[in-house]
Amino acid sequence: MPAIPLAITNQGDGPPVVILHGLFGRRRNWQGLQKRLATKARTITVDMRNHGDSGWDDVMTYDAMADDVAALIQNLQIAPALVIGHSMGGKAAMSLALSTPEAVKALMVIDIAPVPYDHDYAPYVDAMRHVPLTKLERRSQADDYLAEAINDRAVRAFLLQNLGQNDNGLYWQVNLDAIESGLPDILDFPIGAGDPYDGPTTFIAGGNSDYIEDAHHPVIEALFPSATFASIEGAGHWVHADKPTEVIAAMETFITDNQ
């Protein structure tokens, strides 16, 4: 299966660092952090397949996402790169390290573990589908419709970052069909028969999040035997949004330690 071309923003000089966002995210969510990191490294933020400005495809497996990123690293001639991934992007980064270890010099995984989850994202997809975009003139109007199904204002604001506008009106810049059909794969994690990734690996958990639990550590250490763990207190699952200063500091240490 051919890799999907990925849209990127490339800033700075130094060791190459590839940053992968989570489900319903996009590379511009990392813009502020990227600007800071670009003083120390060549930072490359990525729109994952079916998100942002990247290509669309029916498949949303981690094997496919890892192939996309492996092709990007090869095309940019930056292997081995430091790879940082949050949530879905963290699982894609782990899949990349396990399947193509020569592409990954070191790995940072933010608030996700290589395990299945039972979180339910289907209501988000359904709520986004039911926004009558052709009848709306402004993005703010879409929030009123999302509010009928999603009480959390922060979640709505996050989802609305995927709302684009052109001469034809408003449109979603995320492939809802592919995400909906791919949710079982997105919530799962493929553990193949390959060798563990023994390169430097850092797991960063949000102190208020339950995505990385103590019970996950044996699974993590079996796949990533060099793994170290840290927690950022006061942060939920969107660690980089809740505590950007602390996340930048952790990333800077990761870059310095693995140049």
Enzyme catalytic residues:
87, 177, 237
**Structure tokens belonging to residue 151:** 């009480």
What is the rounded CA–CA span in Å between residue 9 and residue 95? 22
Q: Are 45 and 105 in contact (CB under 8 A)?
A: no
**Helix (H, G, I), strand (E, B), or coil: what is residue 228?**
strand
**Between the CA of residue 149 and those of 143, 156, 167, what are the distances in Å?**
10, 10, 28
Exposed/middle/buried for 122, CB within 10 Å: 0-12, 13-18, 19+? exposed
Buried b / exposed e along 56-76 (16+ C-beta atoms within 10 A) = ebebbbbbbbbbbbbbbbeee
Closest by alpha carbon to 240, among 43, 25, 68? Answer: 25
What is the rounded CA–CA span in Å between residue 179 and residue 186? 8
β-partners of residue 151 are none
What is the rounded CA–CA span in Å between residue 230 and residue 217? 12
Looking at 42-165, list the stretches that DSSP marks H as alpha helix, in order from N- to C-terminal side.
Answer: 62-76, 88-99, 122-129, 139-147, 153-160
Q: Are 230 and 250 in contact (CB under 8 A)?
A: yes
Q: Residue type at 249?
A: A
